[in-house]
Structure 1
Amino acid sequence: MASKLSLAFLLLVFLSILPRPTISTAAQETNHHDHGLNVGMISSVLSNKGYIAMSLILEQILPTLIPSEVTHNTTITIFCPLDKAFLSSKHPQPPFTLLQYHIAPLRLDREALQSSLPYESMVDTLLPHHPLVVTTTPHHSDHASINGVKVTDWDIYNNGHVIVHGVEDFFDPAFQTLLYPWYDGRVTKNEIESSTGKDSNTELGRLSWVKEVMEQKFFLVMAVLVFAGSCISLACLRRWNRQYGGYAHRKPNDGILV
């Protein structure tokens, strides 16, 4: 209950500081609707699916997030974080730019994200020079992910022009900036390799391998730690028994001369 109240309060504060949509006439609203941007329907569907936070946010600013020329020319895909993502200390009030980072001017349906787009594919967003990265691995295609964030719900809304998927958390732009800096066009892959003297693919492969091993071996590591703790506890108990156990078996007059 407390978490829901906190979420509602944060949303009210967030919505109060957001810029209002620039749409001011009925003709402009109809124009967005004609090209697939039915804000009311998108918000309603999200709310019914339990994405309350994104439902309220998109209802207020979706026409501002997506310029009309974008909806004229292409299909867009929106990635909506779960409500619990707003309760974290990192993104209680996501900035406008972060919301832009969750919208791709591309048709990214389930097939594209699970099988069509190769691992480490670059996906442009409405935030300039900040693309997303497809992190769905071939042997885990049933668990599609972007920037390392899992897709939780497919086609929450899909009318052929606007596609909405649910994701478990916000996308972090630093993921692309740190691991794939050449994707934003500011530096080339060859420049990075020549400056560091390392093969970027090799380094990224090593990082991915370490992460996968850690995930797979987590329970084994925990079991080893528990076993080691048990052994230490038994050793301490035996030592205590050797030092003090004998006193428990003495009679009250043991060692006293009568």
Structure 2
Amino acid sequence: MVSKYTLALVLVIVLVHTLPTFQLSAIPTQPREEHILMFKPSDTNAIIEVDGIIKAVWDAGFKIMSLILQNHLRTVVPFGGTYPAGCRLCYATDSVTIYNNNTITIFAPVDESFSDDENWKVLEYQFVTARVDKEGFDSGSVQRGVELLTCDSYCKVLVNGYGSINNVNITHWNIYNDGHIIVHGVQNFFNCNFWKSSKNI
């Protein structure tokens, strides 16, 4: 008998490959106020090829997240699909733009996490508009109690220990890291309710 996980994986592959305009309903398509202030298009930008990111994530074993990033990374990153004037080659290549020397850190959940339909509703919390890396934890710039703004902007996630965010551990450091986009592998999806409940303590 086919497992629930196998069916979920097949469904994701079919959706990602056959519906190029498919949008994850919870991921905002328009940057919100906080993101506009941080990522507003300017002369300072980095144009990053998506192929290297999706290959690194795929090779690390996070295949579902790799497929999602292939078609939706530019949608998730604030102004990620907006290119500088005169950059004709940018439109012809599969790339994403990061403005104002910012960094997006992506926390890729393991494939098994996608077997729960509810997780799709919180996928945007996996994208943080800040540099989060092992060096940050080691130096103390990222430490317990630090709140991180997600690409949803209405929700933050909370660092609650070394390599732990919203009680979810980072298991694969630096799957990809070019200084503007960083990808780590994590055990599961972040739950925004963890941050909200911490504010009520």
Change (3 A) 1:87 1:19: closer
Identify the residue that residue 76 of structure 1 maps to in structure 2. Answer: 104
Are 1:155 and 1:163, in contact at CA under 8 Å, matched by a contact in 2? yes
Deviations 1:20-72 (A, max 9, x none): 9x9xxxxxxxxxxx724321111111111100000001101110111236711
Aligned 8 A contact 2:13 2:64 in 1? no
Is 1:18 equivalent to 2:22 in the alignment? yes
Q: Is the 8 A contact 1:78 1:164 kept in 2?
A: yes
Larger radius of gyration: 1
Cα deviations by residue, 1:128-186 (Å, 9 ceiling, x for unpaired): 220110011xxxx4xx11000010100000011111001100001111112225xxxxx
Find the aligned partners of 1:19 and 1:81 in 2 and give their Cα distance. Answer: 18
Q: Calculate the aligned-residue CA RMSD, in Å.
A: 2.5
- Give secondary structure in 2 for the equivalent of 1:135: strand
Match of 2:190 among 168, 171, 180: 171
Contact 2:169 2:187 in 1 (8 A): yes
Partners of 2:22 and 2:115 in 1: how far apart? 18
Query: How far off is 1:13 after superposition?
Result: 5.7
In the alignment, does 2:136 pair up with 1:112? Answer: yes
- Mapping of residues 238-249 of structure 1, within 5 Å: none
How many Å separate the matches in 2 of 1:125 and 1:89?
20
User: Which residue does 1:145 correspond to in 2?
Assistant: 164
Name the CA shift for 1:19/1:116 in 2 (closer, same or farther; >3 Å): same
Could you list the structure 1 runs, at least 4 aligned residues long, displaced by more than 4 angstroms after superposition. none
Q: In structure 2, the residue corresponding to 1:176 is in which secondary structure? A: helix
Q: In the alignment, is the contact (CA less than 8 A) between 1:36 and 1:161 conserved in 2?
A: no
Q: Distance in 2 between matches of 1:52 and 1:5?
A: 13
State the AA in 1 paired with 2:165.
I
| Distance apart, 1:90 and its partner CA | 3.5
User: Residues 18 and 56 from structure 1, CA distance in 2 versus in 1: closer, same or farther, beyond 3 angstroms?
Assistant: same
Q: What SS does structure 1 have at the residue aligned with 2:152?
A: coil
Give the unaligned 5+ runs of structure 1.
23-33, 182-199, 201-258
Q: Is the 8 A contact 2:13 2:67 kept in 1?
A: no
Q: Name the residue aligned to 1:43.
A: 54
Aligned residue pairs: how many?
A: 160
Change (3 A) 1:40 1:177: same
Identity of aligned residues (%): 32
Which protein, 1 or 2, shows the higher relative CO under an 8 Å CA cutoff with sep ≥ 6?
2
| 8 Å contact kept, 2:174–2:183 | yes
Residue of structure 1 equivalent to 2:65: 54
How far apart, in 1, do the equivalents of 2:173 and 2:57 lie?
12
Structure 1 match to 2:158: 133
State the one-letter code of the partner of 1:10: L
Alpha-carbon offset, residue 19 of structure 1: 2.6
Q: Is the 8 A contact 2:105 2:183 kept in 1?
A: yes
CA distance in 1, matches of 2:157, 2:49: 25
Mapped to 2, the partners of 1:118 and 1:19 lie a distance apart of 33
The Cα shift of 1:14 comes to 4.8
| Equivalent position SS for 2:99 | helix
Q: Relative to structure 1, is the Cα distance of residues 99 and 113 closer, same or farther in structure 2, using a 3 angstrom cutoff? A: farther
Paired residue type of 2:46: H
Give the number of the structure whose residues are more often strand, by fraction: 2
Contact 1:36 1:159 in 2 (8 A): no
